[in-house]
Structure 1
């Protein structure tokens, strides 16, 4: 039996999370104000630094029909007082799983800023008007890809994807108009109606700050009396 004292896992340097932390005195009155401030700050930093790529990338966790967890990273395309939102092929694995069990968890993580936000709640379908307005704002190639990809289904190879993309480009030629590619009937999105929002801020010696807003009443993320604030141990 080996007597090696090496620690299992990848050999990576340890980092002391020397962040600003998050003291109760600095926390905004509502989860919307706090989350929006952090998202805007991350977006601002991303414009001048290379270590905060895709500042609105979110991990979306669901469970399948057997109860097994699943997680993937997508872009947060909607964010307001109602909660974070994203788009997808409704027939994808995430779409099927949300239809079966709408309770989800979503996280925004900015390692270089020593910050993260966790949202827990229920995924609710976006209104069709919101979906269409966002779809029409996408670049032409991205709109085509929504038609070309049977998201989450098996693919025989890269050639199949390129062939399907070429076919839909012939079907919907680029006219320079935002509506030259219609919204696919199988394409939509979800907004998370949150029941809990946690703000994580890294601190030295792993004594991180975790400030949590828990729903206690009706209202959106900006409704102060709908939330109770507390602290969790790191």
Structure 2
């Protein structure tokens, strides 16, 4: 079958204005809870898009670690490619592709770095293996072979066999401060339902909600 011939109908659900919460974070948490209950694979996985100094966009999958009215939180190596991009351009885009439920959520905004206390609180809650991996990987750097990475991991495992593993100075989190959140529900005949929350005035907690053409 040719790629151009591949298509399917979207008919699982519909989304009406009356279905939506006034606050987009409440709406997101509802959908996320439903995705978790539906046992979707990695429901907290999101595509994170950044732009380098030449205007070239990059995307990668990152796990959401917290969400509240202050924003969406994720963690990374602060020397990684995404972190370097965010040093020059704090604008960011997130995308949750919940395909089995025929849903997507798209977020635009800008990032703020988390505090050292916030970083430490999350880092110490991670499994020891994940803590070691954060130390072992100089994310986005070129390596000659996987054995180099595995060797570094084993070296660190022996070094920190006793006692706590300190938080790396090159590791931390970002909070995405939201400008817009779009909720997409697949519809029959490609007449999808799309609603976008936007805030024209950052001094208010009120959100404008608009329906978008599919």
TM over 0.5: yes
Report the alpha carbon displacement of residue 19 of structure 1 after superposing the two structures with TM.
Answer: 2.4
Question: Which ranges in structure 1 are unaligned for 5 or more consecutive residues?
Answer: 1-5, 47-51
Q: TM-score, normalised by structure 2?
A: 0.95
How is 1:192-203 mapped onto 2 (pairs within 5 angstroms)?
Answer: 192-203=176-187
Flag as ranges the 4+ runs of structure 1 deviating above 6 A.
none
* Residue in structure 2 matched with residue 49 of structure 1 by the alignment: none
Secondary structure of 1:213 counterpart: strand
TM-score normalised by length of structure 1: 0.87
Question: Which whole-Å CA distance do the structure 2 matches of 1:40 and 1:219 have between them?
Answer: 29
Determine the structure 1 residue equivalent to 2:189. 205
Can you list the C-alpha shifts for 1:112-154, whole angstroms capped at 9, x where unaligned?
0111111101011112211111111111100000000000000
- The one of 19, 24, 31 aligned to 2:24: 31
* Deviation per residue, 1:67-104 (Å, 9 max, x gap): 10000001001111111110000000000000110001
Q: Distance in 1 between matches of 2:4 and 2:129?
A: 38
Shift of residue 218, structure 1, vs aligned partner: 2.4
Secondary structure, in 3 states, of the residue corresponding to 1:164?
Answer: helix
Task: Tell me which of 101, 106, 120 is aligned to 2:89.
Answer: 101
Is 1:62 the counterpart of 2:46? The answer is no
Distance 2:109 2:115 in 1: 18
Q: CA RMSD in A?
A: 1.6
Unaligned runs of 5+ in 2: none
Aligned residues: 214
In structure 2, the partner of 1:184 is: 168
- 2:75 maps to 87
- Give the distance between the partners of 2:203 and 2:76, measured in 1 at CA: 26
Shift of 1:25: 1.0
